[in-house]
Structure 1
Amino acid sequence: MTPAPLLDSIRKPADIRGLAPAELESLAGQMRQRIFEAVSTNGGHLASNLGVVELTIALHYCYDFGPYPGGPDWLMFDVGHQCYPHKMLTGRAGQFGTLRKRGSIAGFPVPEESPYDLFAVGHAGTAISTAVGMARGSQQQGKNNHVVAVVGDASIVNGLAFEGLNNAGTLKRQMLIILNDNGMSISQPQGAFSEYLERVRVSTTYEEFKRFSEKIVHRLPTTVGHAIEHAWDALCSSVKSAMWAGQMFEAMGIKYMGPIDGHDLPGLINFLAEIKHVDKPVVLHVKTQKGNGYEITKNEPTKFHSPAAFRVEGSPLVQNGCRVEINKGTGKNWTTAFADAAIAVAKRDSRVVTLTAAMPDGTGLSKFEKEIPERFIDTGICESHLVAMAAGMAKTGLRPIAAVYSTFIQRAFDQVWQEVALNKLPVIFALDRAGYVGDDGAVHHGFCDLAFLRPLPGMTLIAPTDEAELNRALRLSLKLDTAVAIRYPRDNVPTCNFEEEVLPELREQASGEWELGKSRMLIRHDGEADATLVVYGALAGSVLTAAELLSADGVKVDVVDARFCKPIDGAMLARVLRPGHPVLTVEDHSLENGFGSAVLEYANSHRLPTDQITRLGMPDRMIVHMTRKEQLTEVGLDPAGIVSSVKQAIERAGERSDVAPMPAERYV
């Protein structure tokens, strides 16, 4: 009988500390295989996790990252998508076959899932600051918990990471920052600091450090005290006139060590065991390779950063040993539709430039870069800088299109307000992944962009319902002398006939104009409707399906394509808000301060009846990872849920007489 894999015997991190070196190497191989199999089946973050297997094993071998709050050591991840090996070593290896599936383990750290996950985190740049906070909290309470932050995928260039480093240098106690330098961001690294690290890797100084580390990391006795710190200081002093990465960190009061080989497991264990006792902040520069262990992922780390499920023919372990086909699903998605639309408007208008923050593939702009590379900019994981730079470009007369996930534009809110809106500059924000994002889960849901963008003076907010509307929205945005945000989901886009609907531009769009009874998409019953559905954005397809189901039941509903959350189409709203007539707003956004709230505010200020308004949207609770379809069903935003809400609204309207209750909200 074939023995069970060693990995399945690991229930907690302490289980690996009794393993022999050869067993640890075997464990690393088994972990890589399981990660590869899980991601190939379910999709997920592949290359980044393959690159940190040895590092994660070494960290759990040397530190006691017990279940929180017990400790005694605490581990935080900066980019949460490099946590798969950590999850395996903390009792979740057996669930990896259902990674990112409903009811199973998430693709990011989740404290509710395991006490070994300290923070729910899916954004970059945060771990150093939270680690400083935990180090100070431990010290304030008279404790001495070891604190470790793993920073990867070039998130060290994020502004918050530098703020954290600046404050970490004032600590008078232990704190370890692992700079997981894989030479990559989510895509190709960007910026001067990444170039700085690259120069370190190929410099003479790096080779001296490498030779030095090779001499000591395999020979460290168990009780050296602070010998490694003093030896490192001596070497640093001898080469301080040369260029080396430690200069910046040392100037902040943080001890710098490295670079060392992040795939040398015995060396990592010896090195970490020693610097664990350095009683001051330390940056350990660890050189890893994204996708390590599998040739296909190592050779194409961007392609395999976060792939959908894929099929493999042959062996992925050797060069040219296999063929991989990534499941692309059926139909065109909104991201691709945006890329095509951006290319089209850029070819018509030389003012157009596009920007992204380390997400050229995720936002579709890698396609734009291939077509018009001179008008494409990737800032790295620096959303705040991206927005401020876009404002500067707009000031010169350009028309920048900033393609940013809805969840990430939150990180740049101050710049959207101060640099863009306050200065009345025409920056276009293309907000991908608006609404529920599916198996990435709560860390990436785009649920509050309307809430914080709607109050900004002069901001125009658009949500297209199909590809034709997306094209019109971009073209309209270029005509407006104001900031515009266009939101769309991670989903397939309803296609259109470009020859008839887009290229001739027979029907120009006016800012703020809603539509009722559009021939192809929407419906009207000439005042005979039992209710009206006002949909904002990509849920139009679900609304139309619901209208068809209702019609089959003898219920007539008008359907309005709102298109704009700001400005509101007051004329259309006055038409549909009439006494005794149920009106339901539908949106893929939080009910708090969303489109429905905008309708209520407008109606109230213009003395329109509000007692028959029901708002359908994202409820005030976290929705965990599952498919986007399952998420929409769970909160009643699928066709069946909308049908149910309409029938309930009509029933309530029939029961009401003289009393006008507060507007209803649909929470599931």
Structure 2
Amino acid sequence: MHISEITHPNQLHGLSIRQLQQIARQIRDKHLQTVAATGGHLGPGLGVVELTLGLYQTLDLDRDKVIWDVGHQAYPHKLITGRYNDFHTLRQKDGVAGYLKRCENKFDHFGAGHASTSISAALGMALARDIKGEKFKVAAIIGDGALTGGMALEAINHAGHLPRTNLIVVLNDNEMSISPNVGAIPRYLNKMRLSEPVQFFTDNIEEQFKQIPFLGESLSPELERVKEGMKRLAVPKVGAVFEELGFTYMGPVDGHNLEELIHTFQQAHQMGGPVLVHVGTVKGKGYEIAEKDRVGYHAQSPFNLSTGKAIPSNKPKPPSYSKVFAHTLVKLAEQNPKIIGITAAMATGTGLDKLQAKLPNQYIDVGIAEQHAVTLAAGLACEGMRPVAAIYSTFLQRAYDQIVHDVCIQNLPVFFCLDRAGIVGADGPTHQGMYDIAYLRCIPNMVLMAPKDEAELQRMVVTGINHTGPIAMRFPRGNSYGVPLMEEGWEALEIGKGEMLRHGNDVLLLGYGTMVHPALQTAEILSEHGIEATVVNARFVKPLDTELILPLAEKIGRVVTLEEGCIPGGFGSAVAEALLDADVVVPVKRIGVPDVLVDHAQPHESKAALGLSSSQIAERVLQAFFGQQESAVVQQS
């Protein structure tokens, strides 16, 4: 059977180990060919091919439910659930999503983009099943570092309290998240991986008892209890922690041995209550280059399969914002030992791996634990340190109460650096950094800023470290503009002060962060239509530079706000509120991301769909304020 013929996972039933191994090879080939062409997550999916096939052969997927964690592990799942023929569209506009989406496929039972959610969701489904009196199996697959997240531990704590609730948790233990795992739990799991499996020692206890002459073919209830007691005595050698928490522990199991996996899963399905199956896998399995560099090949841009090298760009690109941020932070940290960089398992993504390499004593990786990261930073700040929490915008959402309760209420100098703010592209709605302006703007004591380019980012890093209270800086994914940078001597910005970039009397364009340059481009297009715009780089959304903005708005009489974030509660809302509070009654056009989810696509495709290109913005301004309904502005883009 070829994998292209598989449209339903139940077609795996009855296949021999050899046939499954052939399908495993086909999955890896398709996975590698696709990611090499489109880019995407590579190592995680390659590591769970046999795990997926082994588990799915033991389930009836018309009834049973599998809940995946961090959905980038689930590429093999996608390939055997009817998406093989469309898999070449992975992470492209209107194509197969890079994560799990309930609306994409009936076998995607729960959306998964962020980590550590699968056990909670699976337990909820198992409880609903029992309440309704239904009969189906529920399995949660957690891995790629997700067990370091507090939410997963909360779910284990709850599930272990429910001995009558049947639930299987499959721990895909590849010793990694994106970077190597940190913490006591991964260290414990590593010890277990290196231990001899013992659960199979107990499998034949009954047969051994039957060989005792006076017992015959049956065991008395008393001896049945002795048998179960022997199992409990054997298992804790490896899985003591999970057994103590109320789980039946099985493992560690070789995650690339299909026969052993199938046997183990069959046994797990026969047990009552919560069961944890510990599966040891190799991230990047089957592609030697990825196996040797598990961090670098967690995800890749398009690359050459034979060499593993990224396909070079046609022309040189300026450095990424993340790289400029990291370089600047390292330079400052070399001069100030109180600066401590904090990441939540995203060292390479945020650039803090540079800080780790240069100043390891001023670097902390807490694992996939954003809540802990924020309160840890608050504790550091209490003792006079200058913590810099570098966390993606979408991931900081997970620590909202800690931002409010532990940092802002106590007015502590924690510097939040929000990478991947705005439209991130192919990762889709779970990763778009849309909401940080709105969710941070409403918190007392918080200062919010965003640079127009990488040179201003350098100055904002200094501003954030020097500030005496909570402060956040958002910056986008991807390459910067290529403006000249300084190696040192950066000056802090005055808090709450914007920057006038262009003068005009017809319309006021207020740009924030990544939308400042489009504002300038829009002004040039409008000028060709005889309309002259004033352009302001707001720099700060909180505090807003009302001393600059209000007089200009009152004088010019037409205001446009531009932001790469959600319109509700965002930068435009802040400007409108300031005008309203000051009794400045002028029309305001807010341009940003409307109240919709932004799906996976290239950033320029998403911006075009949302009307955020410079030509589209000019068109909207002309229509809103100058009655030019049929201008040819869009054709100039």
Residues 510, 535 of structure 2: 8 Å contact kept? yes
> Deviation of residue 350 (structure 1)?
2.1
Matching of residue 178 in structure 1 with residue 154 in structure 2: no
Query: Using the alignment, how far apart are the partners of 2:628 and 2:85 within structure 1?
Result: 52
Residues 47, 292 of structure 1: 8 Å contact kept? yes
Query: Using the alignment, how far apart are the partners of 2:108 and 2:197 within structure 1?
Result: 37
Query: Using the alignment, how far apart are the partners of 2:608 and 2:66 within structure 1?
Result: 36
Query: Using the alignment, how far apart are the partners of 1:582 and 1:261 within structure 2?
Result: 66
Query: Using the alignment, how far apart are the partners of 1:141 and 1:234 within structure 2?
Result: 36
Residues 312, 325 of structure 1: 8 Å contact kept? no
> Deviation of residue 649 (structure 1)?
2.5
- Structure 1 equivalent of residue 149 of structure 2: 158
Query: Using the alignment, how far apart are the partners of 2:250 and 2:312 within structure 1?
Result: 42
- Structure 2 equivalent of residue 251 of structure 1: 244
- Structure 1 equivalent of residue 305 of structure 2: 312
Residues 167, 275 of structure 2: 8 Å contact kept? yes
- Structure 2 equivalent of residue 628 of structure 1: 603
- Structure 2 equivalent of residue 524 of structure 1: 503
Distance change (3 Å), C-alpha of 1:213 and 1:187? farther
Select which of 65, 81, 85 maps to 1:74. Answer: 65
Equivalences for residues 81-480 of structure 1 within 5 A = 81-171=72-162, 172-202=164-194, 206-209=195-198, 212=201, 234-238=230-234, 240=236, 242=237, 244=238, 246-313=239-306, 322-325=307-310, 327=312, 330-480=317-467
Residues 581, 653 of structure 1: 8 Å contact kept? no
Query: Using the alignment, how far apart are the partners of 1:210 and 1:440 within structure 2?
Result: 40
Deviation per CA, 1:27-51: give whole Å up to 9, x if none: 0001001111111111111100000
Residues 388, 465 of structure 2: 8 Å contact kept? no
Query: Using the alignment, how far apart are the partners of 1:491 and 1:617 within structure 2?
Result: 19
Query: Using the alignment, how far apart are the partners of 1:634 and 1:436 within structure 2?
Result: 12
> Deviation of residue 272 (structure 1)?
1.1
Q: Which amino acid aligns with 1:292?
A: K
> Deviation of residue 351 (structure 1)?
1.3
Secondary structure at the counterpart of residue 299 of structure 2: coil
Residues 235, 249 of structure 2: 8 Å contact kept? no
Which stretch shifts more, 116-125 or 586-595? 116-125
> Deviation of residue 348 (structure 1)?
2.8
Select which of 535, 538, 545 maps to 1:562. Answer: 538
Secondary structure at the counterpart of residue 350 of structure 2: coil
Select which of 488, 491, 516 maps to 2:478. Answer: 491
> Deviation of residue 639 (structure 1)?
1.1
Query: Using the alignment, how far apart are the partners of 2:285 and 2:332 within structure 1?
Result: 40
Q: Which amino acid aligns with 2:325?
A: F
Deviation per CA, 1:118-170: give whole Å up to 9, x if none: 12221111111111111111111111221110001121121111111111113
Matching of residue 639 in structure 1 with residue 614 in structure 2: yes
Q: Which amino acid aligns with 1:591?
A: I
Deviation per CA, 1:207-248: give whole Å up to 9, x if none: 1428749999xxxxxxxxxx99997863440464x4x3x222
> Deviation of residue 408 (structure 1)?
0.4
Deviation per CA, 1:419-449: give whole Å up to 9, x if none: 1111111010110111111000001011111
Residues 290, 297 of structure 2: 8 Å contact kept? yes
Query: Using the alignment, how far apart are the partners of 2:124 and 2:27 within structure 1?
Result: 32
Which stretch shifts more, 181-190 or 17-26? 17-26
- Structure 1 equivalent of residue 568 of structure 2: 592
Could you tell me the TM-score, scaled by structure 1's length? 0.88
Secondary structure at the counterpart of residue 578 of structure 1: helix
Gaps of 5+ in 2: 206-222, 630-637
Deviation per CA, 1:316-359: give whole Å up to 9, x if none: xxxxxx45235577222111111112112212322111010000
> Deviation of residue 495 (structure 1)?
2.8
Gaps of 5+ in 1: 67-71, 217-226, 314-321, 518-522, 655-668
> Deviation of residue 270 (structure 1)?
2.0
Aligned length: 609
- Structure 2 equivalent of residue 548 of structure 1: 524
Select which of 3, 18, 25 maps to 1:22. Answer: 18
Distance change (3 Å), C-alpha of 1:212 and 1:644? farther
Distance change (3 Å), C-alpha of 1:477 and 1:580? closer
Residues 311, 327 of structure 1: 8 Å contact kept? no
Could you tell me the TM-score, scaled by structure 2's length? 0.92
Residues 391, 427 of structure 1: 8 Å contact kept? yes
Query: Using the alignment, how far apart are the partners of 1:649 and 1:388 within structure 2?
Result: 46
Query: Using the alignment, how far apart are the partners of 1:213 and 1:330 within structure 2?
Result: 60
Which stretch shifts more, 551-560 or 567-576? 551-560
Select which of 479, 485, 495 maps to 1:511. Answer: 495
Deviation per CA, 1:461-508: give whole Å up to 9, x if none: 000011111111111122211111100111221232235xx7454x65
Which stretch shifts more, 129-138 or 167-176? 167-176
> Deviation of residue 524 (structure 1)?
1.6
Query: Using the alignment, how far apart are the partners of 1:208 and 1:115 within structure 2?
Result: 36
Residues 530, 650 of structure 1: 8 Å contact kept? no
Query: Using the alignment, how far apart are the partners of 2:428 and 2:225 within structure 1?
Result: 42
> Deviation of residue 542 (structure 1)?
1.9
Q: Which amino acid aligns with 1:268?
A: L
Report the RMSD for the aligned CA atoms in angstroms. 2.2
Q: Which amino acid aligns with 1:551?
A: S
Query: Using the alignment, how far apart are the partners of 1:230 and 1:269 within structure 2?
Result: 28
> Deviation of residue 509 (structure 1)?
1.7
Select which of 48, 51, 61 maps to 1:52. Answer: 48
Query: Using the alignment, how far apart are the partners of 1:624 and 1:239 within structure 2?
Result: 46
Residues 27, 79 of structure 2: 8 Å contact kept? yes
- Structure 2 equivalent of residue 571 of structure 1: 547
